[in-house]
Amino acid sequence: GDSVTQMEGPVTLSEEAFLTINCTYTATGYPSLFWYVQYPGEGLQLLLKATKADDKGSNKGFEATYRKETTSFHLEKGSVQVSDSAVYFCALRNNNNDMRFGAGTRLTVKP
């Protein structure tokens, strides 16, 4: 079945460091890809999305490019802040409109 595999955490970085969280997927057809963020004690918030190959989603300095050839959607940010500390979930939505989530990666940014 359709699935998402993302880099296991936790990830700990210093402020202003470069962030990469790897995500790969397995799906039939042409899924849409998402990154969601969950801040402590809160629900899921959509961070960015890409609906077709080579699309780049971006928001709040984060970006991810839909790579069909490598079935990947890695999340990157050039300079992280303490406020970026959260759990990040990679997800896909398949042609049946069903979402599948990765296991989540906890990011801690230290001042």
Partner 1 sequence: EPEVTQTPSHQVTQMGQEVILRCVPISNHLYFYWYRQILGQKVEFLVSFYNNEISEKSEIFDDQFSVERPDGSNFTLKIRSTKLEDSAMYFCASSGQGLASYEQYFGPGTRLTVT
User: Would you tell me which residues interact with partner 1 (CB under 8 A)?
Assistant: 30-32, 34, 36, 42-46, 49, 51, 89, 91, 93, 95-104
* Of residues 18 and 39, the one with the C-beta less far from partner 1: 39
Q: How far is the CB of 66 from partner 1 (least distance, A)?
A: 12
Reading phi first (left if > 0) and then psi (alpha if -120 to 50, else beta), residue 97 is in: left
Q: How far is the CB of 110 from partner 1 (least distance, A)?
A: 21
Question: CA torsion angle for 9, 98, 3, 62 (degrees, to 10)?
Answer: -40
Q: How far is the CB of 100 from partner 1 (least distance, A)?
A: 7
Find how far residue 77's CA is from the centre of its chain: 11
* Of residues 13 and 44, the one with the C-beta less far from partner 1: 44
Tally Cβ neighbours within 10 Å of residue 69: 7
